[in-house]
Amino acid sequence: MDTLHQDWLTRDLVDFEYKKYVLLAYMQKIKNRFTDRELYPFMSDLVFHYNNLTALQKNKQLIYENFPKEVSRADFEKLKIHYRKMVQDSELMSTLEEIVNFSLPHFKERVEEGAEIYEDIAQSISIESVGIMPLYKNEGYLLLSTHAQGAVYIYHYKITVTYQAEEAYRTIRTQQLDEVSWSLSNSFEQIKRNLIISNQELPNPATYLAISQETYPLKATLLPIAKRMLVQHIGKAA
């Protein structure tokens, strides 16, 4: 159990000892992942549940929205009344409050631990451009490598920018294209030239090199952090 169900608080049996068992088992799994320097998707899951529990603690009526609702349309109105009665049950609400109060410190501790690991790893990763850069940088290639290995993972990336309340939000999608070996005869500049030859739709693509001083799990740590750092790097230059 590396992730918790979105409805874990009200899913199955609403009992303090049972939920305590579920939570502590989950926290041990996350701790093991963090020991192996694996951050994703576990960190995102932790943050989601921590924010959710914090909101529930501030507004108990939000618990109503967390009861499972995987029901047919015909039974929805009947069960909606049932859920409302459950929320109005003082004993049930007291149990949920006890579970929330117990859970929050555990989530807070793991979120802070994950954030510290993230910062340590991010400090070992540098982002730099490869070759001449175009004006348009929201699409191109990301080369991902480490000093300890000769492998270079090649990704096509595309950043989408959306605006909400005059704030720009950037999301990135990547697709792995290849894995090659770096050498004096196959430098990062040569890898970029090969990419241009193989995909002429991007004649002068923005190409970035993310290189790590240490070796970390690729999909669970190195790639997600490099993607986030790339978005921040391009956003600052915009």
Model pLDDT, residue 32: 94
Phi-psi region of 186 (alpha: psi -120 to 50; beta: other; left: phi over 0): beta
Confidence of residue 76 (pLDDT cuts 50, 70, 90): very low
What tokens appear for 231 in the block?
A: 């978005």
Structure tokens at 129: 């451009």
| Secondary structure letter of residue 89 according to DSSP | -
Considering just the CA atoms, what is the radius of gyration of the chain in Å?
23
The mean per-residue pLDDT over the stretch 85-91 comes to 60
φ and ψ of 169, to 5 deg: -120, 125
Q: Report whether pLDDT(62) > 70.
A: no
71 pLDDT tier (thresholds 50, 70, 90): very low
Q: Which of 83, 43, 42, 81 lies closest to 62, judged by CA?
A: 83
Model confidence pLDDT, tens digit, residues 22-32: 999 999 999 99
Model confidence pLDDT, tens digit, residues 126-159: 999 999 999 999 999 999 998 877 899 999 999 9
pLDDT above 60: residue 216: yes
Give backbone dihedrals phi and psi of 22, rounded to 5 degrees, phi first: -60, -45
The pLDDT value given to residue 81: 46
The confidence band for 79, taking pLDDT boundaries of 50, 70 and 90, is very low
- Cα-based distances in Å from 202 to 48, 50, 134, 136, 178: 37, 42, 10, 11, 17
Average pLDDT over the chain reads: 86
Query: What is the distance between the alpha carbons of residues 63 and 18, in angstroms, rounded to a whole number?
Result: 18
Kindly report the backbone phi and psi dihedral angles of residue 201, in degrees, each rounded to the nearest multiple of 5, phi listed first. Answer: -70, -20
Domain spans in the chain, listed from the N-terminal domain onward:
16-123, 125-237
The answer, yes or no, to whether the previous bond of 41 is cis (omega within 30 of 0) is yes
Mean of pLDDT values over 165-179: 88
Q: Of 47, 237, 45, which Cα lies nearest the Cα of 159?
A: 237
